[in-house]
Amino acid sequence: MTTNSGAVSDAILDPYDYDFHEDPYPYYQRLRDEAPLYRNEDLGFWALSRHRDVLQGFRNSTTLSNSYGVSLDPASRGPHASKTMSFLAMDDPDHLRLRTLVSKGFTPRRIRELEPRVTELTVGHLDTMLEKARSGETVDYVNQFAGKLPMDVISELMGVPQADRDQVRAWADGVMHRDEGVNDVPAAAVEASINLIVYYQAMVAERRKQLTDDLTSALLEAEIDGDRLTDDEILGFMFLMVIAGNETTTKLLANAAFWGHRNPDQLMAVYDDIERVPLWVEETLRYDTSSQILARTVSGELTLYDTTIPEGDVVLLLPGSAHRDERVFENPDDYVIGREIGSKLMSFGSGAHFCLGAHLARMEARVALAELFKRIRGYEVDEANAVRVHSSNVRGFAHLPITVQVR
């Protein structure tokens, strides 16, 4: 790999490598230093790792197109990507039209009004988990809490009946799972995707007959100058919510617990003052963001670091690396709750495609962690038995065993 300085680097980035999933940050460091524009010939992509370049990449939505999707997985890429990734896999004007219509239903007010119910769901899951933990038993923080709550919140928003939620959650998990050595969407994930779509199709058909007060009904009613969402557009958005909204929030909750455990000195202040929970959430989003890698497709002419990138090539944006860039953050490898982050955060992207669900994710994380800390005096993570998720773009835990001191 030739860098802009003319030096040759043997830095490697393989988003499917299990070793990379365990700790991507040393890899990112080398890319930022030695190959800020990196090329992987075998997998056919370029990658940008420095904060400035990633930010500009997010904001350049004309030359760096979303229309083939944002995943490197070959089966997820292509002109069909918007069927499952909605407006995240579109460029303007299509993106703006769909996003504006969806925003009619997915309003900040709807999110605000959901908060008491999120608190209720949180308390329900915590009661169950902490009842087990009270006797000193190890509990799985992901299985019993962080993996359940976000999917329940989305199901609550959408209007999925309580009885179906475990099944819907299992399908959502199935969509994301990757076995070692698999560089594409496996058959089981395709099957899970089809099951989800079929389930949501039936739900949309029901709402067409009888509207309720959920988001699914609001999307059916959304209208601007006579323009309405089609059933396929509603399904695409519902699917996006399950993948983008569910996965990333689950990972955020577990990453916060893991790095809090690793940095007890930082967590002391949160135990003393629950109002510091949002700062804990923000530093987790910076330090170890759920959404590590997003793909774009070059449309038109793009020259970076004296290199012209051909039209149609894939460029990966690495917010996970950008957040550890010492050119932007002081001591970026230290976990410091309360540090100044502000607009430098890219966990929810930036520019035209800034995540529509950012306020929902932050609200969920704040409620979940605050309610947890009202009930516990401390916790320990069993690191030896923690299991990471293996995904080409999302980082977090499949299992996080903990012991808890209940108040």
**Per-residue model confidence as pLDDT tens digits over 245-265:** 888 899 999 999 999 999 999
292 contacts 394 by C-beta, under 8 angstroms: yes
346, part of any domain: yes
* Confidence band of 7 (pLDDT split at 50, 70, 90): very low
Cα–Cα distance for residue pair 362/214, rounded to 1 Å? 21
Whether 3 is in a domain gets the answer no
For 229, phi and psi rounded to 5 degrees? -75, 140
> Biggest alpha carbon distance in the chain?
65
Question: Which pLDDT does position 2 carry in this prediction?
Answer: 40
Q: From CA 18, how far away is CA 230, in angstroms rounded?
A: 40
Find, among 322, 331, 325, the residue nearest to 263 by Cα.
331
Residue, of 365 and 162, whose pLDDT is higher: 365
CA 49 to chain centre: 18
Q: Is the dihedral of CA 208, 210, 215, 219 positive or negative?
A: positive
Task: Assess whether pLDDT exceeds 50 at residue 3.
Answer: no
Confidence of residue 272 (pLDDT cuts 50, 70, 90): very high
Residue 6 has pLDDT above 80, yes or no: no
pLDDT recorded at residue 183: 64
Residue 218, domain member (yes or no): no
pLDDT value for 392: 84
Question: What is the average pLDDT value for the chain, to the nearest integer?
Answer: 93
In a domain, 199, yes or no: no
Whole-angstrom distance, CA of residue 129 vs CA of residue 137:
10
Q: Which of 227, 185, 234, 238 lies closest to 208, judged by CA?
A: 234
Q: Is residue 123 part of a domain?
A: yes
Residue 358 in domain: yes
Please count the residues of the chain. Answer: 407
Task: Tell me what pLDDT residue 187 has.
Answer: 83
Q: Whole-model pTM? A: 0.93
Q: What percentage of the chain exceeds 70 in pLDDT?
A: 96
Find the domain containing 309 and state its range: 18-96+109-155+243-406
pLDDT cut 90: percent of the chain above it: 81
Average pLDDT over residues 76-93: 90
Whether residue 50 contacts residue 329, with contact meaning beta carbons closer than 8 Å, is answered with no
Q: What is the pLDDT of residue 170?
A: 87
In a 10 Å sphere around its CB, with 0-12 CB exposed, 13-18 middle and 19+ buried, how is residue 347 labelled?
Answer: buried
Residues paired with 304 in a beta bridge: 307
Rounded to the nearest 10 degrees, how much is the dihedral formed by the CA atoms of 81, 88, 61, 316?
Answer: -70
- Residue at 50 is within a domain: yes
Which pLDDT belongs to residue 396?
94
Question: How confident is the model at residue 61, as a pLDDT?
Answer: 93
Whether 311 is covered by a domain: the verdict is yes
Q: Count how many domains the chain has.
A: 1
Task: Please give the pLDDT value at position 242.
Answer: 85
Read off the CATH number of the domain in which 264 is found. Answer: 1.10.630.10
Average pLDDT over residues 78-88: 89
Examine the pLDDT at 5 and tell me if it is beyond 80. no
Is the per-residue pLDDT at 154 higher than 90?
yes
pLDDT computed for residue 173 by the predictor: 79
- The candidate with the shortest Cα–Cα distance to 253, out of 388, 362, 351, is 362
Beta bridge partner(s), residue 394: 291
Q: What is the pLDDT of residue 390?
A: 83
